Amino acid sequence: MNKFKSLKATQYLLGGTLAAALATSVMAQEAKVEMEQKPLPKLTNTIDGRETVDQRMQAFLRTQKLRQGENEEGGRSILVWLGKGTISVPPSDKNFVMARNIAFQKAMLDVKQKCAEFMETRVSSEMTLDLASPGAERAAADALRLQREGLAQEGAVQVAKALNSDVKAKNAPASIQTAGLYGEKILENKMKEELSKKGIDPNKPVSEQQVKAVLNTSSFKNKTRATARARCTGIKVLASFEQNPANGQGQIGVVTVWTRKLHEIADAVITGNYALIPKGEPGIPVDDHIPKEDLTLLSTYGTQMVRNEKGEYVLLAFAQAQPQSKSQQSKDLAYKMARLQAQGMIRSFLGEAISSTSDMLQKEESTEFEDESNEVKMDEQNRNKVSAVAEKLQIKGMQEAWQWESVHPANNGPVVGVVMEWKANSAQLAGQLKAFNQASGAKTAEAVSRMNSGGGSNAPAAASPSGNAAPTSKPRTSNANTGQGAVSRDF
């Protein structure tokens, strides 16, 4: 089908009837406070020497009326994963606090692997369902699915149109020039190409058997896996638990949540495109996002994306360090180490999103994304790439939001911690993303330039030739009923 005719048909289907259905669904969802905003109960026992982290994570899920895997709230999907990491040294070791930090990182890698495996299955299932419908109806079905997952109504319509258009991925509009959506567009085009080679019209309903014949090829599996991984940004830690037995190694356990909205917020901070995020009221002051109880702070690690009272997105990084003695000089040095760690966490969070987006924008539709036989090697290469990108990021405006001092119950040793904050400056990051991709070649630079200057009022801002960033679009705050602004706790 001619791409202009296809777009026209899609626009027709996404007209009055669909808009009315979406509006009704939005109103129904907005009556409830969303998962991302729900206040969590105070955790009185996050560190223990007897109960395992598994026991306490399962107890936490029961109190929250959640279960591991897929949950549903207000008709949308909420994904919960548990992760664990081993603390490699006993509490008596001078590097005990550092080992706990590393155990948390291992627990998050465990979560991300589970996320990627789940998303790989979901991407394949979504494609099978899409292709079972006539081509002209797919955009309408996709828009409804995306809106149920938490996208803003107008964002869902934009994305659905772009995913179902006949344009090549490298010429895709700004609305899908983020890592996960760009990968989905590549998959969509590749699937149609492979079906056409088999003499199957992709614009007519395609049987599940015919779709699976393509999905199960090595080439398509590799692309699906890469797209699945690109979806796994924006994971939020709901709670962390720690066990330090009298004998043997301890563990860190994390309970995490992923929603489409959290994923799109992470992408919006990088690209400056807030069109896909549901509107909402301003949030709460940054200070109210930071727990103040010692036991909670002792088991709080990593980076959280929050929204302040002005409606701005802010990254909070929680880091800890261990003084080697009780002297003030030793404590001051530990605080300095914690600050450096927290700054590195913010760089790493942004570096992961930038690296993921950059990688997907560089992919050609005929390119093998990765070799399944080298899965571990690819994971290691990806971590190294994120680290390299993070080190190069010129991030200004990081400041300390909180500092604390406590005693770890496992060894009665001193622990100090800091919380660093950084207000999302998407114009600065969009300029840096452009610079990273320019180094990869003219074709990639052209794609990213389209993203940074791209179509419509919701396109991200581009850096000016002088290096000064142009004004960015701001998160919109006109709708008071999305749950934004509800008091929440970050663990």
Residues 351-390 have pLDDT tens digits of 776 666 666 666 555 555 554 444 444 455 555 656 656 6
- The answer to whether position 411 is within a domain reads yes
Per-residue model confidence (pLDDT) at position 19: 42
Per-residue model confidence (pLDDT) at position 75: 73
Lowest mean pLDDT among 80-84, 254-258, 460-464: 460-464
DSSP one-letter string for 12-62: HHTSHHHHHHHHHHHHHHHTS--GGGPPPPP-S-SEESSS-HHHHHHHHHH
Burial class (CB in 10 A: 0-12, 13-18, 19+), 73: middle
- The answer to whether position 102 is within a domain reads yes
- The answer to whether position 470 is within a domain reads no
Lowest mean pLDDT among 27-36, 110-119, 173-182, 327-336: 27-36
pLDDT for residue 31 is more than 80: no
Per-residue model confidence (pLDDT) at position 81: 96
Q: What strand order describes the sheet that includes 413-423?
A: 302-307, 313-321, 413-423, 399-408
- The answer to whether position 39 is within a domain reads yes
Token pair belonging to 490: 């970050």
pLDDT for residue 304 is more than 60: yes
Report the C-alpha gap between 364 and 357 in whole angstroms.
Answer: 14
Q: Which residue has the higher pLDDT, 256 or 14?
A: 256
**Highest mean predicted confidence (pLDDT) among 4-18, 239-253, 270-284:** 239-253
Per-residue model confidence (pLDDT) at position 243: 93
* DSSP run (H or E) holding 267: helix 260-271
Lowest mean pLDDT among 252-256, 275-279, 392-396, 439-443: 439-443
**Tokens 């897929």 sit on residue:** 70
308 pLDDT band, cuts 50/70/90, is confident
Report the C-alpha gap between 296 and 240 in whole angstroms.
Answer: 9
Q: What is the mean pLDDT of the chain?
A: 74
Q: Are 256 and 83 in contact (CB under 8 A)?
A: yes
- The answer to whether position 240 is within a domain reads yes
pLDDT for residue 455 is more than 90: no
- The answer to whether position 464 is within a domain reads no
pLDDT for residue 313 is more than 90: no
Per-residue model confidence (pLDDT) at position 429: 65
Quote the domain boundaries for residue 183. Answer: 3-24+35-365+374-453
Contacts 24+ apart (CB under 8 A), 115-118: 115/79, 115/81, 115/231, 115/232, 115/235, 115/258, 116/225, 116/228, 116/229, 116/232, 117/228, 118/69, 118/70, 118/79, 118/81, 118/228
Summarize pLDDT for 267-279 with one digit per residue, the tens. 777 767 777 776 6
401 pLDDT band, cuts 50/70/90, is very high
- The answer to whether position 64 is within a domain reads yes
Grouping H, G, I as helix, E, B as strand and the rest as coil, residue 98 is helix
Per-residue model confidence (pLDDT) at position 121: 92
pLDDT for residue 91 is more than 80: yes
Q: What angle do CA 238, 240, 242 make, to 5 degrees?
A: 165
- The answer to whether position 462 is within a domain reads no
Domain total in the chain: 1
Beta bridge partners of 254: 83, 240
Residue whose C-alpha is closest to residue 389's, from 362, 358, 361, 364:
358
Per-residue model confidence (pLDDT) at position 60: 92
Phi/psi of residue 111, each to 5°?
A: -65, -45
